[in-house]
Structure 1
């Protein structure tokens, strides 16, 4: 019983954190995107591989902003899934097919987030270097990204395992 109360309490806290992040992150990215479009040259400070003084057009800044906004979609989807999952846990619904499917969707979205952490900076740097004397294609992959990718894979597998467990639970309840 204490573990159940702890699960409900922690899920209640995480519900609000995930909900707040799902609202705040898009706003933050929109603000940065707007700043980049209004002052395209300021984007060079965020792209150290691109030579200082490289001309950056408003169209390039708009593309960089668009890439950032699109890359945010899987993170927001994952956060909204977490809101659903923590809401269900908060209400005491732990082992269900819906929760398993939600965990699976969160894992898949987090896999996309991990992929975007490699692709987005690469694409943005390439866009910003269009008018440079030398084009830049820099692909970065670090241990943090690898760890995030592994955690996302773990969530995906846990989602599949939870789905199997929920089906067994439902089958066992049919016998009672």
Structure 2
């Protein structure tokens, strides 16, 4: 029995998506799952935490690409390869951003001050789409403070989280 013929049959390589059987899609799913685990190990732990839009974009794109490998709407092995290339690109851009603050801002964003010495910074709040109610909610939940005058600095971080430094 020809091994390449067996692999082609098992994975449904060369078939149209609508011709794939349940078994072929299932085997593809198992292989994609294993490949995804390898990709996860190759990527940084932070990328899985979706700390920035940069990280979230990787997750969404990888999920979309790999789904196509399972359902047969794209060639199987090239699609897996694209997943690995995207993880590698993410790693390389993250490494470059580590060494270049400017690139880090372009790729991952920059924090913005929302409160400075108890005063709201309305321009930054508007730019970041954070209302006073949003800020007050995070003040209560994250800093256990209800009065903005008791905040020395509040920043919306690159992750979108709001950090607080209490006034003395």
Q: Which has the higher strand share?
A: 2
TM norm structure 1:
0.29
Q: Which has the higher helix share?
A: 1
Larger radius of gyration: 2
Higher relative contact order (CA 8 A, sep 6+): 1
TM norm structure 2:
0.30
